[in-house]
Structure 1
């Protein structure tokens, strides 16, 4: 019962991640009153919903089943590359800082991918109706 409620809530929030971002931003801003921190926290939370929505759109567009795992793989490879660069440049790796960089770059990348893939999916369905 609780799992079904959480899955339904996640699917509603992941359906429109930009609306979710705005709702989360205003909700967090009411408590924190700090725009910079609110924006960062909203980006971090919305990233969870972007992963789900982009992977579903990817799977629908390309008739695949690995969209989620592809996103996770790219995030892990990015984590390794940025962590390796930081280790080479500074002699040590701050894992929390690397995670933040990868997570926020992922937010920007998945936001663009969401728009591009959504438009491509709409065009595909207009040209080849299912």
Structure 2
């Protein structure tokens, strides 16, 4: 069981380091059906999982803390609260599915530049390990 878990962790770590791989893979498999918009959305949704993992790990390494994942989740929850409040004011009710999709996709758009910045920093100024 330990070997399987280790292999899964190593696979996730590799894919999270280069999240363009799952994005392109999901996009090209999804675009075969003909709906490119849906393929892009699905690729964004899948890639967000890997972006969260990489950004949290890279920030933890850079800042010498273990709080980055919780900070990302906190920002996502605050964003969800703001979007939910806006939905409630405009429509009088909150659509949880649309709210979750909006927060998830906004997270993708916010994490991509952070990923690029952290990757550039790692290439130019490698972090010292503890």
TM-score grouping bracket, smaller chain normalisation: 0.7 to 0.9
Which range moved further: 34-43 or 110-119?
110-119
Q: 1-side partners of 2:115 and 2:128: how far apart?
A: 21
Q: Answer yes or no: is the 8 Å Cα contact 2:30–2:36 preserved in 1.
A: no
**Cα RMSD (Å):** 1.8
Q: 1-side partners of 2:69 and 2:123: how far apart?
A: 20
Unaligned runs of at least 5 residues, structure 2: none
2:40 match: 39
1:57 match: 58
Q: CA deviation at 1:85?
A: 1.2
Q: CA deviation at 1:28?
A: 2.4
1:20 match: 22
Q: TM-score, normalised by structure 1?
A: 0.88
Q: TM-score, normalised by structure 2?
A: 0.88
Q: 1:4 to 1:77 in 2, by over 3 A?
A: same
2:118 match: 117
Unaligned runs of at least 5 residues, structure 1: none
